[in-house]
Amino acid sequence: MSINRAEKITIWIAFIAILTFILMRILHPVLYQTIPNHAYLFIHSGIEFISFAVSFTMLVLGWLFFVKSLSRQRLLTAALFSIVGLFDMLHALTMEGMPFFRFVGDTTLSLLFAITGQLIGSVGLFFIFRKSDQPISAGRRLPVVSAALGFGWLLAGLYFSLAEWPSIYLLTGQPLVYMLTTVETVIIVAYMLTIGTIMYRNRNEQPQALLTIIQSLVFFLLANLQFVLSSNLHDTDMLMGHIYKLAGYYFLMKGIYFVTIEEPFKEQKRSESRINFLAYHDDLTGLSNRRLLTERLNAEIQLAKQQDNQLAIFLLDIDRFKTINDALGHTFGDQMLQAVSQRLRHAVGKPDHLFRMGGDEFVILLPEIEAAEENAAQKHAQSLMGLFDAPFVLGEAEYHVTISLGISFYPRDGESVDLLLKNADTAMYSAKVHRNEFSSYTPDMNMKAHDRLRLESDLRRALEQEQFMLAYQPLVNLQTGKVVGVEALVRWHHPLRGLLPPGEFIPLTEENGLILPLGEWVLRAACLQNKAWQDAGMTPIMMSVNLSMRQFRQHQLVDRIKSILEQTGMEPRYLELEITESMTSDVEFATETLASLKKLGVQISIDDFGTGYSSLVYLKRLPIDKLKIDRSFVNELTENGSDAAIVTTITSMAKHLKLKVTAEGVENDEQLHFLREHNCEEAQGYYFTKPIPANLFENWYRHRNQIA
């Protein structure tokens, strides 16, 4: 077990104190002598008045300073030593040679005050430190200290009244000897127990204040041993005892100072430092924040202006981070942000050039770039992109993430902090269209950014005015050639831009939350259409609808779907809900949600299988009915041996798990023949038809049935 500096100091002080005591006993015959009364009175009075001053100081420290951090031990110690200090002063004033000297029985008032003060101090400290410290209200100060001082003065008055009594049994003869021996024993035992109690209760962590109090208790213990061993009131043993006692007071006051002044002050400084740190740094990652970026970038702009240099700003964020947060939870998202920031910190090298803007956005500052070095900045951006080729290992799993990065240059792309950041952000969103790319800002990007804002505004109006429509793509059984289902795909009929495919507006709806009302509209419209086809006499087929990540995590999802089925009148067995692999990353949540959906009677399929994060270990636990092979594996099925092997593996695995398999993106006879040979049950793609509106699909379906 390592020993810190404060503990070492305590050990050394205790060792030196005990060593001096042992040496005093060994050399006692040589060192011992009596001290003249007048000299002893002068020295002793000085020591006792200093002791009183120290006690008064402890009272003031406990009473006035850092009242908000007042604690039980601190207040009781201050109150205790207000009594002890009072008795020390009265002990000095009633010494032989002082004006208030009195005999009481066979002893003196001075001795009674001295031994009572020591008894109260030793026993009081034991009871104070035998319990854990705890905060108390400032309103307790006056009652506690008033009660202590009142008790002290009452006891002092009682002692003065005893001096008027002719004879007191306990203070004469042998009873006096027994009483003094008992009290001295209690004092010594109390100090030893207090030392042991403090060390035991704080055995795991020993604050400096308590270590200093232990030092004082060691000196108090040695002081009382000296008093016991003294054979004369005016000898060197008694004087040494008072010196030990004075040292004890010093260390006790020092300990109280640590508790009342230094530690609260340090805590206040730590709090101020923490507040100042948080004002300029991100609490999660420890990186500099946007406020510090603004100050630093302003300074770098002024420097670049003076030196006629350029500077570059990299603004990057994590692709599909909202999906990661939704799928795996915000705690995992925070861990990912910390891992990303750590990797960026190592790559950038200079911590004052890396900033976290908030969310999953980071900024890297590249100052002092000469005009001919723009290509160097782009190479640096490329190397940053390469940082994310390696997976992140979090827990027991590996996760691959990519970033999109935008670059702006001073002074070409702006001469102010806001403009440079805005243009870097615009460039980043331009790169984000394709993901895992970087782009340098160009003026025409502003037009695209404005288009994006207008499109987002139009989206809200589109939901209100129901400008969306559904297109349908059939699912064909490869063995019978019959249409067994249809997938509903949303399209936006924009009043000015015409028909927009999902890729142009679905990412926006996922970012702004409109995916939830849009998803419900799609589900309701698809169920209504399928029910209408059935009512028109078409053979019932499966209607497949995609669920977004946000829908899957939506509160009361099962109740919402159940309500839509009841409103539209469609039987649950004709509805197939498609989820992606990333939605199953939180296996416990996914299993519970899917099980609840299955109880409704709907079918569940995993879309784009093979491109996500699902673990084959957990796949068998999920209550699913079908795997849909992603079109990226089907496109080069007959040309790429790896794709063929993947498709073969998926179909074989699905067969063993008793799951159906649908291949997406089928476009030619060779693909169809391969899939049929390898036991793939269903297919969809342009080979059969592209997604078409409901009326055209109905005609296509009837025509195909006539041919079949």
The tens digit of pLDDT for each residue in 491-536 reads: 999 888 888 888 888 888 887 788 899 999 999 999 999 999 999 9
- Do 632 and 674 lie in one domain? The reply is yes
Tokens representing 668 are 């030619």
Q: Can you give the pLDDT at residue 100?
A: 87
Contacts 24+ apart (CB under 8 A), 558-561: 558/593, 558/596, 558/597, 558/599, 558/600, 560/520, 561/523, 561/597, 561/600, 561/602
Q: Residue 2: pLDDT above 60? A: no
Residue 450 included in any domain? no
**Average of per-residue pLDDT values in the chain:** 85
Q: Can you give the pLDDT at residue 1?
A: 41
CATH number of the domain that residue 306 is part of: 3.30.70.270
- Do 414 and 304 lie in one domain? The reply is yes
Q: Can you give the pLDDT at residue 259?
A: 65
Query: Can you tell me the mean pLDDT for 173-201?
Result: 88
- The span from the CA of 125 to the CA of 119, in Å, is 10
CA–CA distance from 3 to each of 19, 202, 406, 549 (Å)? 22, 14, 52, 54
Tens of pLDDT along 58-90?
A: 787 777 766 777 788 888 888 888 898 899 899
Look up the domain containing 633 and give its range: 465-707
Tell me the pLDDT band of 361, cut-offs 50, 70 and 90: very high
Tokens representing 362 are 């980071």
Higher pLDDT: 408 or 613? It is: 408
Q: Residue 473: pLDDT above 80? A: yes
Higher pLDDT: 534 or 270? It is: 534
- Do 421 and 480 lie in one domain? The reply is no
Last residue of a domain, one of 392, 407, 441: 441
Residue 65 included in any domain? yes
Residue 182 included in any domain? yes
- Do 494 and 437 lie in one domain? The reply is no
Residue 110 included in any domain? yes
CA 419 distance to own-chain centroid:
33
Higher pLDDT: 707 or 555? It is: 555
Q: Can you give the pLDDT at residue 262?
A: 66
Contacts 24+ apart (CB under 8 A), 505-514: 505/455, 505/459, 508/452, 508/455, 508/456, 508/459, 509/459, 510/322, 510/323, 510/548, 510/549, 510/550, 511/322, 512/456, 512/459, 513/550, 514/459, 514/460, 514/463
Higher pLDDT: 369 or 312? It is: 312
Query: Can you tell me the mean pLDDT for 153-157?
Result: 91
Residue 517 included in any domain? yes
- The span from the CA of 294 to the CA of 419, in Å, is 12
Burial class (CB in 10 A: 0-12, 13-18, 19+), 534: middle
Higher pLDDT: 370 or 280? It is: 280
Number of domains in the chain: 3
Helix (H) or strand (E) holding 483: strand 483-494
Q: Can you give the pLDDT at residue 575?
A: 95
Residue 251 included in any domain? no
Query: Can you tell me the mean pLDDT for 207-216?
Result: 79
Prior bond to 207 cis, omega within 30? no
- Do 408 and 535 lie in one domain? The reply is no
Residue 253 included in any domain? no
Q: Can you give the pLDDT at residue 141?
A: 86
Check: CB of residue 468 under 8 Å from CB of residue 521: yes
- The span from the CA of 569 to the CA of 265, in Å, is 71
Query: Can you tell me the mean pLDDT for 390-394?
Result: 86
Q: Can you give the pLDDT at residue 189?
A: 92
Higher pLDDT: 68 or 54? It is: 54
Q: Can you give the pLDDT at residue 605?
A: 92
Lowest mean pLDDT among 266-280, 382-396, 452-466, 559-573: 266-280
The 3-state DSSP class for residue 357 equals strand
Burial code (b: 16+ CB inside 10 Å, e: under 16) for 341-362 equals beebbeebeeeebbbbbeebbb
Last residue of a domain, one of 178, 202, 226: 202
Q: Residue 696: pLDDT above 50? A: yes
The 3-state DSSP class for residue 554 equals coil
Query: Can you tell me the mean pLDDT for 338-352?
Result: 87
Q: Can you give the pLDDT at residue 261?
A: 62
Tell me the pLDDT band of 374, cut-offs 50, 70 and 90: low
- The span from the CA of 436 to the CA of 513, in Å, is 23
Tokens representing 664 are 């997406």
Q: Residue 372: pLDDT above 60? A: no
- Do 425 and 511 lie in one domain? The reply is no
- Do 419 and 480 lie in one domain? The reply is no
The 3-state DSSP class for residue 155 equals helix
Tens of pLDDT along 107-138?
A: 888 889 989 998 998 899 899 888 887 888 88
Residue 241 included in any domain? no
Tens of pLDDT along 192-203?
A: 998 888 888 777
**Tokens 């053979």 -> residue:** 539
CA 670 distance to own-chain centroid:
55
Beta bridge partners of 312: 366, 409
Q: Can you give the pLDDT at residue 615?
A: 52
Check: CB of residue 325 under 8 Å from CB of residue 331: no
Lowest mean pLDDT among 329-343, 394-408, 444-458, 671-685: 444-458
- Do 298 and 174 lie in one domain? The reply is no
CA–CA distance from 88 to each of 83, 402, 657 (Å)? 9, 75, 89
- Do 522 and 615 lie in one domain? The reply is yes
- Do 506 and 566 lie in one domain? The reply is yes
Length, in residues, of the chain: 708
- Do 437 and 577 lie in one domain? The reply is no
Tens of pLDDT along 216-264?
A: 888 888 988 888 888 777 788 888 888 888 888 888 777 777 766 666 6
Query: Can you tell me the mean pLDDT for 135-146?
Result: 86
Higher pLDDT: 87 or 368? It is: 87
Query: Phi and psi at residue 314, in whole multiples of 5°?
Result: -100, 125
CATH number of the domain that residue 596 is part of: 3.20.20.450
- Do 155 and 297 lie in one domain? The reply is no
Tell me the pLDDT band of 683, cut-offs 50, 70 and 90: very high
CA–CA–CA angle 543, 545, 550 (5° rounding): 160
**pTM of the entire predicted model:** 0.53
